[in-house]
Structure 1
Amino acid sequence: MLRVGLTGGIGSGKSAVAGRLVERGAILIDADQLAREVVAPGTEGLAEVVAAFSDRVLDADGALDRAALGELVFADESARRRLEAIVHGRVRARTVELTAAAPADAVVVNDVPLLAEVGLAPTYHLVVVVQAGVHIRLARLARDRGMSRAEAQRRIAAQADDARRAAVADVLLANEGTLDDLHAAVDALWRDRLVPFEDNVRHRRAVRAGRVTLVEPNPSWPQQYARLADRIRHAIAPADLRIDHIGSTAMTGLAAKDVIDIQLSVPSLADADGVLAERLADAGFPRLPGDWWDSPRPAGGDRWAKRLHGNADPARPVHLHLRVTGSPGWRYALLMRDHLRADPDRRAAYLVLKRELAASAPDSGAYATAKDPWFDEEHLRAEEWAARTGWRP
């Protein structure tokens, strides 16, 4: 099963995206619909809302007058917080029930308007954000909902801004063209990413990089790492383990393979092989088959054992290295990252080497092995730098 979070500001066209995903075969869980269910007449939720806001929020039939309630909460942040405290927990509980009832091979899309605001992004395998310019959203709200400009502006201001939503987005869908344009983008997302992603999660299969291709530095790599780390942190809770962005994508301005390298510090490899491995696989980070080691520095000693996981998302390759805290391989990954971050000349020398090796187009294994002699020598420089600066991992 693949769990997808879908969000977007009011008037962005999120509902149109949700509808198209359902046409393609997704199971939709609509948070707004659930929010209505949990405060329907006769529910504990409605009784609590009335206790908090008085019977002014009821219509003549005793049902919730959502317009009256909206007038109260969208103009008053503390009132909105009180309402969210009543509704959100009940919506989450119902979402868990509906997700558990879905087929094992389902793509379950959770349509959550306040996904970014309430911190739900790490609970999904993937987050899709629908975006449109504020002027377009204002026009849609006036045309489709008969909303005054002042009211529409208040509703937009009460939600997260575009930057905050973009920070949690694995996929940004721009919806400023025609409906056909939007449907084409959703269809491509479904076909090329969501369907294979679900199949990979279900079969515990990770995406592997093949030929080595260097790409220019991507300023979004740190933000991509942050989203992945939040997802990993949520998956392994309540364990509180150190997570680090390592490798070339962790270094500003360095061309690299478009693979996010992450180090998860574990107490022991036995811990890595237990419940932790299952939780990571459930979250979309299955263990790669086989035995994995790091080459010792200096060369000639025993290899440094580790576990290696990947990402089931076909559009975002990841190498998730599980290394024992304090072990030589663990320390080495952090030392080389920090040494190269601190020394632009050595970083430039590393880039020259990377480009030379990538030009011969080896596979990933041959590429990594070919770098060993350079790293044997660079390790000595890194240790000198650590001693001189007092570096600690």
Structure 2
Amino acid sequence: MIRLTGPVLRVGLTGGIGSGKSAVAARLVERGAVLVDADRVAREVVAPGTEGLAEIVAAFSERVLDAEGALDRAALGAVVFADETARRRLEAITHPRVRARTAELVAAAAPDAIVVNDVPLLVEVGLAPTYHLVVVVQTAVPTRLERLARDRGMDRAEAERRIAAQADDARRRAVADVVLTNDGSLAALHAEVDRLWHKRLLPYEHNLRARRVVPPGRVEVDPTWPEQYARLAARIRHALAPADLRIDHIGATAVPGLATEDVMDVQVAVPTLADADGTLADRLANAGFPRVPGQWWDDARPAGSGRWEKRLHGSADPARPVRLHVRVAGSPGWRYALLTRDHLRADPGRRAGYLLHQRELADAAPVVSGSGTARDPWFDEEYLRAERWAAQNGWRP
């Protein structure tokens, strides 16, 4: 029996004003999610009688209070809106308290909970890498304007001003692991949320606790692989902080236009393999990248000349397979991964051969392979070609 351990699955939920984010949050709660509402937490930490409100009054005077002694948000906004120093002073009071209260609510969730953080300014504040998954609700601007007028009585000029003050759709999509489109009916939105819950969130939560790795996906070409890698790298970098380790996109998905298995190869460089164990391994597992059991090596070049030891992690996210190779910075295996990638990027004629050998060995390789096609003689030839190309072009990792 698997002993289930580890953190709860944390999902960041965001979307522009009028997008229907609250409807998504409510449906996720119906399915069983634990909701942490950032706006509610922000109000809670400055409620009457709190240290947060007392510190705001000390900083900005009682002019920011209403007749009942509660925070007058409009009055406070008038003070800080056009004053960068004042705004930063306010954030220094409220942000640590919001983070601390959010952490308390997450810690209070059950071990098998799926915690959804509803954060309107998730993109603007740069919080995306702190979650296992980011869900963005996207709705056409005309539809949002119509909803704000109908549901909130907001005039068009004010609605347009608020929409313009937030991140646009392109910035939200850049951090989104999942985009839920909400231009249709509520029933259609609920169906999308239900699919997300059953097909991705529930399996992801179980895999995270079980530290289970998902297998590679089908062979395809996906032009969004670079954007997907950027999100993964940001999440990995956040998990490993304060360590500042080099992270690279390697393998076939790092070569534009190359059809390959839908599995993202990522390389993390460490000073020594001892640094890859213990705390680092736990941090990666808690971020959704568990260690693959066993010992792992890359076959040295030329074939038969030895092996290069490494550590291998995978992904717990059922919709985003990953092979995360942890190698010593400057080692032959680390260098070879970067050289092969850059040579294939530079030489279109080698890409078809690479794909052919990937496919030929895929059926015989383990589900999560640490070396796989590296044993094929084709790679000895590729190694010699790549080394000649590196020497001719002055390539360095």
Cα distance, 1:71–1:187 mapped onto 2, change above 3 Å:
farther
Question: SS of 2:124's equivalent?
Answer: coil
Question: SS of 2:257's equivalent?
Answer: coil
Partner of 1:324: 328
How many residues of Structure 1 are paired with residues of Structure 2 in the alignment?
387
Q: Is the 8 A contact 1:74 1:155 kept in 2?
A: no
Q: Is the 8 A contact 1:74 1:158 kept in 2?
A: no
Cα distance, 1:160–1:72 mapped onto 2, change above 3 Å:
farther
Partner of 1:203: 210
Partner of 1:235: 239
Distance 2:84 2:389 in 1: 51
| 1:362 partnered with 2:358 | no
Letter in structure 2 aligned against 1:114: L
Distance 1:152 1:83 in 2: 25
| 1:259 partnered with 2:266 | no
Cα distance, 1:354–1:272 mapped onto 2, change above 3 Å:
closer
| 1:273 partnered with 2:274 | no
Partner of 1:35: 42
Alignment of 1:99-118 (within 5 A): 99-118=106-125
Cα distance, 1:173–1:109 mapped onto 2, change above 3 Å:
same
Question: SS of 1:60's equivalent?
Answer: coil
RMSD: 2.2
Of 388, 391, 396 in structure 2, the residue corresponding to residue 387 of structure 1 is 391
Partner of 1:190: 197
Partner of 2:296: 292
Partner of 1:171: 178
Partner of 2:26: 19
Question: SS of 1:116's equivalent?
Answer: helix
Partner of 1:250: 254
Distance 1:177 1:72 in 2: 40
**CA deviation digits over 1:263-289, x for unaligned, max 9?**
011122222122111111111100111
Partner of 2:4: none
| 1:132 partnered with 2:139 | yes
Distance 1:138 1:53 in 2: 34
Alignment of 1:57-68 (within 5 A): 57-68=64-75
Question: SS of 1:219's equivalent?
Answer: coil
Letter in structure 2 aligned against 1:215: E
Cα distance, 1:258–1:78 mapped onto 2, change above 3 Å:
farther
Of 39, 48, 52 in structure 2, the residue corresponding to residue 45 of structure 1 is 52
Question: SS of 2:123's equivalent?
Answer: coil
Q: Which sections of structure 2, spanning at least 5 residues, go unmatched?
A: 1-7
Distance 1:39 1:54 in 2: 14
| 1:8 partnered with 2:15 | yes
Cα distance, 1:331–1:300 mapped onto 2, change above 3 Å:
same
Percentage of pairs with the same residue: 74
Distance 1:144 1:48 in 2: 35
Alignment of 1:64-83 (within 5 A): 64-70=71-77, 82-83=89-90
Q: Is the 8 A contact 1:4 1:110 kept in 2?
A: yes
Distance 1:155 1:84 in 2: 20
Q: Is the 8 A contact 2:136 2:179 kept in 1?
A: yes
Partner of 1:335: 339
Question: SS of 1:150's equivalent?
Answer: helix
Partner of 1:350: 354
CA positional deviation for 1:370: 8.1
Distance 2:377 2:274 in 1: 31
CA positional deviation for 1:342: 1.4
CA positional deviation for 1:219: 1.8
CA positional deviation for 1:53: 4.9
Distance 1:35 1:132 in 2: 25
Partner of 2:319: 315
**CA deviation digits over 1:231-250, x for unaligned, max 9?**
11111111111100000111
Question: What TM-score, normalized by structure 2, do the two folds share?
Answer: 0.91
Q: Is the 8 A contact 2:268 2:326 kept in 1?
A: yes
Distance 1:53 1:155 in 2: 25
Distance 1:177 1:57 in 2: 41
Q: Is the 8 A contact 1:7 1:114 kept in 2?
A: yes
